[in-house]
Chains A and B, each alone.
Chain A
Amino acid sequence: MLLVLIALFAVAGIAPFLFRMLGRSTFYVLAAVPALAFVWLLANFSSFIEADQGAASGSPNAPPVQMFNWLPSLGVHLDFRMDALAAVLCLLVLGVGALVLFYCARYFKNEDPHTGAFGAQLLAFAASMFGLVTADDMILMFIFWELTTILSFLLIGFNRTRMGARRSALTALMVTTFGGLTMLAGLIMLGTAAGTYRISEVLALAPELTRMGTYIDVAIVLMLVGAISKSALIPFHFWLPGAMAAPTPVSAYLHAAAMVKAGIYLIARFAPGFHETAFWQPVLLWLGLATMLIGGWRALKQNDLKLVLAYGTVSQLGFLVLILGIGTPNAAMAGLAMMLAHGFFKATLFLIVGIIDHKSGTRDIRQLSGLRSSSPVLFVVAVIAAASMAGVPPLFGFVAKEAVYESLLEHASSNGAPGMVLLLGVMLGSAMTFAYAARFLWGGFARKAGMKPTPFPKVPWLFLAPLLVLTLATVVFAWVPGSLEAAITPYVGLFPAADHPIHLAIWHGFTPALGLSLVSMSAGVVIFVARKRISKVQAMVPAYFDAERDYKLIITGVDNLAIWLTGRTQRGSLSFYLVVILMTALVLPTVVSLWLQTPAPGNLIAFDTPAQLVIGCIMILGALGALQANRRFLAVLMVSVSGYGMAAIFALQGAPDLAVTQLLVETIVLVAFVLALRALPVELWSKNPTGHRLVRALIGIGFGASMIYIAATSMASRIADPISLAYPELAYTGGAGKNIVNVTLVDMRAWDTFGEITVLAAAATGVASLIFVRGRGDKTLNAALVPRGSVDHGSEAIGGASHSRSGMAVAKNFAISSKDSWLVAGHTLAPERRSITFEVVTRLLFHTILLASVYLLLAGHNTPGGGFAGGLLAGLALAIRYLAGGRVELAEAIPVSPGTLMGSGLALAAASAVAPLFFGAQIFTSAAIEFSWPLFGDHKFVTSTIFDIGVYLVVVGLVIDVLRSLGSEIDERSEGRSPTDTHDLVSDAETGVGR
C-alpha cells in the first residue's frame, strides 16, 4: 500500500526527466504505474473486502493497515488502511488514472515544453488521491486532500498564458481551500473530542461522540463544508465549470473520477458513524438536490460540449451526495454503485470531448456537425456513455440508478413528505440528465440543418483505446454487477442491516423503481424535444442565484477592505507610527497602574542637595529651550545644556565615572552635531505643516507624567535588597579594583561592555558607510602630496569665526612664512582658514591630553576613568587637532585607519574575553598579576585591563571615523573637488548592494 503510494510519487518526481528523454511517450510509462497498482489492487482485492470493516486497526481480522509514527506529539500518524470503501475508490482512482495517462500520450503534442511538469502533476494527483482514500488518519487525509487542491490548481492553470485559465485556477484554489480549511477545523474538533485522529477509531467511537450534541454537530457540519466545496455543491459549485479551462484529460480525471470524488468519499467514509448528527441530512440532502437541479438546468443551456459535461458533473455530484447522505445501507449501496457508474461514463464522455476538440479544433455545438458519420466508432462509444449517464438500460448507469430509486422509495416511505419531495426532485433531475445527455449526443454528432459536416480526421486506435476500456466496463458490469456489489457490500455492512437489502441487477422485474426510471426518461425526451422552447424560457429567467458573482463580490469586498484598512493603518507616516506606539506605551501601562492597586509612592525626598535642584531647573530650561529654538545650532546647544546638566547631576549623585563620561560624550556629540549639520540650513523648519502641536504636547506630557508615577510606584514596590549591595566587596576581592563601577564594567558585566563596543564599531561603520557610500574610504592621505593652502579654500571656517582684514593679513603672512608649521599639515589649509592661536594651543595641548587619556585608561580600575573615558579623551584631542589643522592634519595625526583601530580593539577585547577558556576557566575570568619593577615599585596588573585597552582602541577608532566622515569627507565635498574620492553624489544614489 505504502509501496504503491511511494512508487506513484517517485515516478511523478522523475517524470520531467523522463519526458526529456522520451517525449510524450513517457505518458505510457506513467500510465503503467497506476496500471500495475491496479493489478496489485485486484490481486489482493479479496483481502480488503473480506476483512471486518469495522475492526480496529491492528486486530487480526481488520483490513490491511500500515502504521508509522510521525508526529506523536500532535497525535498525527502515517496510518494507511485499505478497507472495502478505500479499495472501491482505488479501483476508480488507479484504473481511470492509468487510462487517462495513456490517453494523454496521444492528446498532447510532442514538443510542448510543459508536458513534463504536466505528466508529473497528473501522476502525483493520482498518488494523492490514492493516499487520500487509504489514509486512516484524519490529518493525513487532510494533507492529501490539500495536495489534490494544489495539484488541481496547477493543472487547471496549465494553459497559463490564458487569463481565463489562471483565473479559474485561482477560483478553484480559493474555493476548495476555503472548504478544506473549514474541514480542518471540523476534523480537529472531532479529533480533540475523540482523543484520536485515527479515522477507524473515530468511527468506532461515533456512538459516544454523537451523544455530545452540538459540539459534534458543528464539527461534522464544518467537515461537510470541505466535502461539499470539493464536490462542487451549491454554493461552491461554480469553480467546477471554471476548472474546464484545464486540458480535457485533466477534466476527465479530476472532475469526473478523482478530485470531486474526494468529497463523495469523505461523506461515504463518515456516513456510517455520523449520518444521524443534526446537520448531516438537512445539509447533504437539500444541497444535493438543489445542486442536481441547478446543474442540470445549466447544462441544458451550454453550447460548449465540455461545459455541458461540466454542469452535468455538478448535477451528478449533487445526486451522489444526496444518495450517500441518506445514510441507509441501501442508499450506501446505490450511492457507491452510482459513483462507479459515473466514473466510467463521465470519464469516457470527457475523453470523447477531448478527441473532438483535438481533431476538429472546437467543442462548440454550433460549429460541430456530422461527426456521427465521420467517426462512427467514436459515436458508438459516445452513445453508450451518454445512455449510461441518462440511465438507459442495459447499461451500468441504469443498474445503479435503479438501485438509487429503490433506496429513495424506501427513504420516502419512512420520511413522508420531505422524502417524497426528494424523490420527485431526483426524478426531475434525472429527466434533465437524460435531456442533456441527448443534447450532448445531438450537439456533438448530429448533422445539423444548414451546416456542412465538420472536417474530422480519423481517430487513431491508440487514442480511442482508453475510451473503449471504460465503455466495456459500462456495458459488462451492467450484466455482471455481482462483482462490484461484492466489493461494495462490506462497506454497506457498516450500517445497521436493512430490512430489504437491495441488489444490483439489470432486471428486478416490474418494480416501482423501473416505473420511475421510465417516467423520468420520458420526461427527459420531452425536455430534449422542447429544447428550443426551454432555452427561450431559460433566457428569460434571470440568474437569481449566481454564486460566482457572489464569490467575486466577496473577493472584491476583501480587496476593498484591504485597501481601506491598509490606507488607515499603513499611512506611510513615521509620526503616525510613533504616535500609535507612544499611545500604546502610554495608555496601557497608565490604565493598568491606575486601575490595579499599586503601592502608593512613598519615602519621597524633594532633592538630595540643593545644587541638584538648581541643576535640575537648568536642565528643564535647556530642554524647553530646545523646543523653542528655531535655529539648528541653538537647538543643539540647548540640548547640550541638559546633557551637561546630566554630568553635573551624576557628579553630585556620587557617580564620578558617569560624570566624566557624560562630559566627554556630550562634547564629542556636540562636535559631531556641528560637523554634520553645518551643510544644512541654519533655520529649523519650525512651522510644521502637519502641526498637531497640541496632540504632540499632550502625548509628551502624558508620557512624562505617567512615567513619573510608574517610576514612583515601582520604587515604592521594592522589597528586596538590590544585588549591588554585594558589589563593593566583590569588586575589591574578586575584581582586584577599587573603582566598583569600572570593575563592574570590565569584569563583572564585561559582557555588556563587550557588546557596547561592538555597537560602537557597528555605528562607526554605519557613519562611514553613509558618508563614503562605497566602502569605508580607508585611503590614507599624505600631507606632502597636498598643495599648500588648498584645503578648505573658500568654505567658511568651522565655528564661524569671522576674520578681520588685518587678521587675515596676519594669517596669510603666517601661512606663507612659517617653514616649520606648528602642525604637520597646517600649511595645507587655506590661509583664511588658519588660526595661529588655535594651532599653537593645539600643539601644546595635544600630547598632554593624550597622556591624560592613557592615564584614565590605566588608572580606571581604581579611580574614576577607564578605557571608555580614556578613549573619548584621546578622541577629543584628535578632534581639536582636526579643527585646528583641517582634514589633512587629521590624516597625519593618526596614520592608522579607524577600521584597523576598531578591528584591533575589538579583536583584543574578544581575545581577552576568550583567552581564559584555554586555561580552563570561564570566559572573561580575570586574573590579577602582581609584579615589581626596580624603579616603579610593586604593581598589580589585572588582566581585565587588556580588555579595557580594547575598549580604548575602539572608542578612538569611532571618534576618528566620525571626524573623518562627518568632518574630512564633508569638507572635501564642500570644496567641490576630491583628490581621493572620484564619485559624485548623484551616482552614489544609484549604487548599493543589489537592488
Chain B
Amino acid sequence: MIDAPLSAVSFAPLAVALPIFGAALAFIMRRKRRTQITVTISVLVITLCLEIWMLATVWGGGTYAVTLGGWAPPFGISMVVDGFSAFMLVVSSVVCLAVLLYATSQGMADGDEDGPVSIFHPAYLILVAGVSNAFLAGDLFNLYVGFEILLTASYVLLTLGGTVARIRAGTTYVVVSVLSSMLFLISIGMIYAATGTVNMADLSLKLAEIAPGTQTVLHVMLLVAFGIKAAVFPLSFWLPDSYPTAPAPVTAVFAGLLTKVGVYAIIRTETLLFPGNKFSTALLVVAGLTMLVGILGAVAQTDIKRMLSFTLTSHIGFLIFGVAVGNQLAMGATVYYVAHHIVVQTSLFLVAGLIERRAGTSNIDRLGSLAKLSPLLGMLFFIPAINLGGIPPFSGFLGKLGLVQGGAEMGTPLAWVLIAVSLLTSLLTLLTIARIWNRAFWRKAEDAVDPDPLLLVGVGAKRGATYDIVADEPGSKYSDRGDSALLPKGMLAMTGALVLVGVALTVFAGPLFDFSDRAAEQLLNPGHYIEAVLGSTEGNSP
C-alpha cells in the first residue's frame, strides 16, 4: 500500500519526465505557437505543483528514495528526495516559470511569429528537466546525465539567434562545460575503478573504506569538476564571458540556476560522498578568493549584465564559505542562501533585460534617467539590488547573517578572516549596485558619457509624450507599438513577481530557516540518506 506522504515522493521522477514529455509535445506541435506556449506553461505549472507537494511531504524532515523501475538499489538508479533537493526543485521551478512567462511576454511584444520560439520552448523544458534530474539524482552517473541534459539545452539557449557575440560566448561556454563534463566523467571512471559502484549512497559507504589517499584524490577530482560548473575561483573565469550575451531571459535563468547545480553537487560531495569536512581550510581559502576576485571584477565593469555576472561568481563564494564552515548553522544558512541567490540574481538579470529594452543598452556609460522614465523599473531594480548587497532586512542579509554566525561559531582565525572578506564583499557589491543606480537611474541621460538615443528622445518634452516622439521616428523598432513594447506589462509583472518572491523569502524567513536547519541536519548526517536508499528494498523509507 502506498500511503499519502509516500505517494508524493514516488512521483518524483515526474519532475524530470514531465518537462521532457512537454518538450516532446513542443517538438511535435512546433507549428502551433500558441499551443506550444500553453503546453510549456502548463507542464511547468503541473511540475511545480508536484514539487510543492513533495516539499510539503519532506518539510518536517525525512528522506525518501525512489528506485526507478523497481530495481533494488544499488543496482538500479535511485532518486532521492530530502529537504534540500525538494527545496531546490521548488525554487528552481518557481524561477523557471517566472522567466518563461517573462520570455513569453517578450516574444508576444516582439511579435515573433515564426521565431526561435519553436526552439526556445523545448530547449527550455529540457533545461528544466536537466536541472531537476541533477537535484534528484541519487546515482553519480545519473548526476552526470542530468548535467549533460541541462548543459546541452543550455548550449542551445545560449547560442539562440547565432549572432557573432553569442557564437563567441557560446564557444567559451561549450568548451569549458565539455571539459568539466569530461573531468567529471573521468572522476566517475576512477571512482568506479576504486569502488565498483556508482550509487551515491553505496559510494558513501564504500568510499570510506578504500585507502585514504585514494579517497582524497577522488575527492579533489570531483571538487574540481563541480567547481567549474559552480564557477569557483580559479575555475570561474569562463562565466562572465559566456552569460551576458545571451537573450535576457536565458541569462537570467542560467545565472540563477546553473551555477547552483554545481554548488548543489559540491554540497552533496562534501556531505554525502566525503563527509567530515576534510577540506575545510582549502575551501575557506577558495571561498574567500572567489568572493574577492569576483567582486573586484564587478567593480571593474561598465556593463550591467557583466557586473551582475561577476557578482554572481562572487556570491558563489558565500555558498562555498558555508560549505567550508560546515556546521549546522552555516549549512542551514547555505541552503537558505542558495534559494535567495537563485531568486535575486535571476530577478536582477530580468531587470537588466528590461533596462536593455527600455534604453537600448546595458552599458552604464550610456544609461541615464531611468528612474524618471520608469519609476516602477527603478523599484524593480532597487529592491533585489540591495537584497543582493546583503542590506537588511532582505533575504541576502539574513542568509549572510547565518553564514557569518556559522563562521563565528567555528571561530578559527581563518573563519574570522572569511567573515571579514564576506563583509567586504557585501560592501563592494553595494558599491557596484549603487554605481549602477546613480548612473543608470538617477543621472540625466544627457549627462551620460555617450547616451543611447533611445533615452534622449523626448527629453525636454512634456512627460508622457516620450513615446510619441519615438513613434514619430521613421523606422524605429517600436514605431507602432509605443509604451507597451518598450516595457511590456507581462515582463514587468513577472520581474515584479520574482522580486516579490525574494521579499517573501524575507517575510517567511522564520519557517524557512527552521526548514533549512532541518535540511542541514539531514545533509550533515548522511546516515539518513544511506538508510533511505539502501535501508529497505521497498524503495521508500521514511
Direct contact of A and B (CB under 8 A): yes
A747 sits at the interface (CB 8 A):
yes
Asked if B196 contacts A766 (CB within 8 A), the reply is: no
A596 — which chain B residues lie within 8 A by C-beta?
212-213, 216-217
Report A-chain residues with C-beta under 8 Å of the C-beta of B17. Answer: 754, 910, 913-914, 923
Find out whether the CB atom of A166 lies under 8 angstroms from the CB atom of B214.
no
A-B contact count (CB 8 A): 450
Contacts of A146 in B (CB 8 A): 391-392, 397
- Considering only CB atoms, which chain B residue lies closest to A598 in the complex? B213
**Are B427 and A174 neighbours in the complex by a CB distance under 8 Å?**
yes
- Tell whether A755 pairs with B145 under 8 Å between CB atoms, given A192-B405, A577-B172, A718-B195: yes
> CB-CB contacts of A890-923 with B at 8 A, as 1s and 0s?
0000000001101111110011011001001111
CA distance in complex: A713, B221 (Å): 14
Measured in the bound complex, the distance between the Cα atoms of B14 and A75 in whole Å is: 38
Chain A residues lying within 8 Å of B166, measured Cβ to Cβ, are 992
A574-B163 contact, Cβ under 8 Å, with A157-B438, A589-B217, A774-B115:
no
* CB within 8 Å for A723 and B430 given contacts A899-B30, A906-B27: no
Q: Which residue of A lies closest to B168 (CB)?
A: A574
How far does the alpha carbon of A774 sit from the alpha carbon of B113 in the complex, in Å?
10
In the assembled complex, which residues on chain B have CB atoms less than 8 Å from the CB atom of A988?
Answer: 162
Q: Is B48 an interface residue (CB 8 A)?
A: no
Contact residues in A for B196 (Cβ distance below 8 Å): 718, 720-724
A69 interface hit (Cβ, 8 Å)? yes
Q: Contact: A170 with B149, CB < 8 Å?
A: no
State in angstroms the CA–CA spacing of A597 and B2 once bound together.
49
Shortest Cβ distance from residue A655 to the other chain B in the assembled complex, whole angstroms? 15
Interface 9-mer from B88-96, B260-268, B506-514: B506-514
- Chain A: interface size category: 35 or more
Give Cα distance in the complex from A173 to B11, angstroms: 50
CB within 8 Å of A: which B95-143 residues: 103, 106-107, 110, 112, 114-120, 122-123, 126, 129-130, 133, 141-142
Contact across chains for A903 and B162 when beta carbons are under 8 A apart: no
Does B297 interact with chain A (Cβ within 8 Å)? yes
A487 to B214, CA, bound (A): 71
Whether, in the assembled complex, B451 has its beta carbon less than 8 Å from a beta carbon of chain A, the answer is no
A184 CA to B400 CA in the complex, in Å?
11
Q: Which of A534-542, A578-586, A627-635 contacts B (4 or more CB under 8 A)?
A: A578-586
Report A185 CB to chain B, min CB distance, Å: 6
Known: A585-B224, A749-B76, A766-B156. A562 touches B297 (CB 8 A): yes
In the assembled complex, B386 has its CB within 8 A of some CB on chain A: yes
Given A181-B427, A907-B25, A910-B21: A170 touches B409 (CB 8 Å cut-off):
no
B408: chain A residues at CB < 8 Å are 188-189, 192
Contact B142–A717 (Cβ < 8 Å):
no
A189, A584, A758: which contacts B224 (Cβ < 8 A)?
A: A584
CB pair A574–B409 under 8 Å, yes or no, is no
In the complex, the answer to whether A776 meets B152 with C-beta atoms within 8 Å is: no
Q: With both chains docked as a complex, state the minimum distance between the C-beta of A639 and any C-beta of chain B, in angstroms.
A: 15
| Residue in B126, B442, B447 whose beta carbon sits within 8 Å of that of A762 in the complex | B126
Taking chain A's interface residues, is the majority helix, strand, or loop, or is none over half, making it mixed?
helix
Write out the residue numbers on chain B whose beta carbons fall within 8 Å of the beta carbon of A574. Answer: 171-172, 175-176, 238
Set of chain A residues within 8 Å of B235, measured between Cβ atoms: 580-581, 584
Return the chain B residue nearest A178 by Cβ: B427
A170 to B430, CA, bound (A): 10
Q: Which residues of A contact B11 (CB under 8 A)?
A: 917
Query: Across the interface, do B248 and A747 meet the contact criterion of CB distance under 8 Å?
Result: no
Is the beta-carbon distance between B206 and A720 smaller than 8 angstroms? yes
Enumerate chain A residues within 8 angstroms of B211, measured Cβ to Cβ.
597-599, 717
Alpha-carbon gap, A758 to B152, bound state (A): 9
Task: Say if the beta carbon of B186 comes within 8 Å of chain A.
Answer: yes
Given A192-B405, A903-B28, A925-B69, are A749 and B430 also a contact pair (CB < 8 Å)?
no
Tell me if B299 is interfacial: C-beta within 8 Å of chain A.
yes
Complex: A581 Cα to B224 Cα, angstroms: 8
Whether A611 is near chain B, meaning CB under 8 Å from some CB there, is no
The residue from A75, A571, A774 contacting B237, defined by CB atoms under 8 A apart: A571
Tell whether, in the assembled complex, residue A592 and residue B216 are in contact, meaning their CB atoms are under 8 Å apart: yes
Q: Is the CB of A720 within 8 A of B438?
A: no
Chain B residue with Cβ nearest A558: B299
Whether the pair B249, A184 counts as a contact (CB closer than 8 A) is no
Contact of B228 among A185, A581, A769 (CB under 8 A): A581
- Mark out the residues of chain A between 757 and 808 whose CB falls within 8 Å of any chain B CB in the assembled complex: 758-759, 761-763, 765-766, 768-770, 773-776, 778
A592–B217 CB distance below 8 A:
yes
Contact A991 B161 (CB under 8 A): yes
The answer on a CB contact under 8 Å between A755 and B392 is: no
A881 → chain B closest CB, angstroms: 23
Which one of B418-426, B465-473, B478-486, B525-533 contacts A?
B418-426
Docked Cα-Cα span, A182 to B106, in Å, equals: 43
Within 8 A of A (CB), among B21-66: 21, 23-31, 66
The CA of A159 and the CA of B4, in the complex, are separated in Å by 60
Task: Given A178-B427, A596-B217, check contact A766 B152 (CB 8 Å).
Answer: yes
Let me know if A523 is at the binding interface, CB within 8 A: no
CB distance from B130 to the nearest CB of A (A): 8
Q: A580-B234, A597-B211, A994-B247 are in contact. Are A766 and B159 (CB under 8 A)?
A: yes
Question: B142 contacts which of A752, A778, A921 (Cβ < 8 Å)?
Answer: A752
B94 shortest CB reach to chain A, Å: 21
Minimum Cβ distance to chain B for residue A574 (Å): 5
What chain A residues lie within 8 Å of B117 (beta carbons)? 775, 993
A509 at interface, CB cutoff 8 A: no
For B107, the chain A residues whose CB sits under 8 A away are 993
Find out whether the CB atom of A992 lies under 8 angstroms from the CB atom of B163: yes
- Contact mask A686-720 → B, CB, 8 Å, 1/0? 00000000000000000000010011011101111
Cα-based distance from A913 to B14 in the complex (angstroms): 10
Give the residues from 597 to 642 in chain A that come closer than 8 angstroms, CB to CB, to chain B.
597-599
| Bound Cα distance A911, B18 (Å) | 10
Return the chain B residue nearest A749 by Cβ: B77
Q: Is the CB of A900 within 8 A of B297?
A: no
The answer to whether A922 touches B172, judged by C-beta atoms less than 8 angstroms apart, is: no
B220 within 8 A of A: yes
User: Which of A371-379, A427-435, A726-734, A968-976 forms contacts with chain B?
Assistant: A726-734
B435 lies within 8 A of chain A by Cβ: yes
Residue of B whose beta carbon sits closest to that of A725: B196
8 more A-B residue pairs beyond the given contacts A160-B371, A570-B241, A993-B116, with a C-beta to C-beta distance below 8 A: A73-B332, A169-B434, A718-B194, A723-B75, A774-B116, A923-B17, A924-B13, A988-B162
- A–B complex contacts, Cβ < 8 Å, 26 sampled: A73-B329, A73-B402, A113-B372, A113-B463, A188-B405, A192-B405, A192-B409, A574-B172, A574-B175, A578-B179, A584-B224, A585-B224, A589-B217, A707-B186, A723-B196, A723-B197, A758-B20, A774-B114, A774-B115, A775-B117, A775-B119, A776-B118, A922-B66, A926-B69, A993-B117, A994-B106
The 10 closest A-B pairs by CB, nearest first: A992-B161, A722-B196, A903-B27, A160-B442, A906-B24, A598-B213, A143-B392, A596-B213, A924-B69, A907-B24
Measured CB to CB, the residues of A under 8 A from B are 69-76, 113, 117, 139, 142-147, 149-150, 153, 157, 160-161, 163, 166-167, 169-170, 173-174, 177-178, 181-182, 184-185, 188-189, 191-192, 555, 558-559, 561-563, 565-567, 569-572, 574, 576-578, 580-582, 584-585, 588-589, 592-593, 596-599, 707, 710-711, 713-715, 717-724, 726-727, 730, 734, 747-752, 754-756, 758-759, 761-763, 765-766, 768-770, 773-776, 778, 899-900, 902-907, 910-911, 913-914, 917, 920-926, 988-995
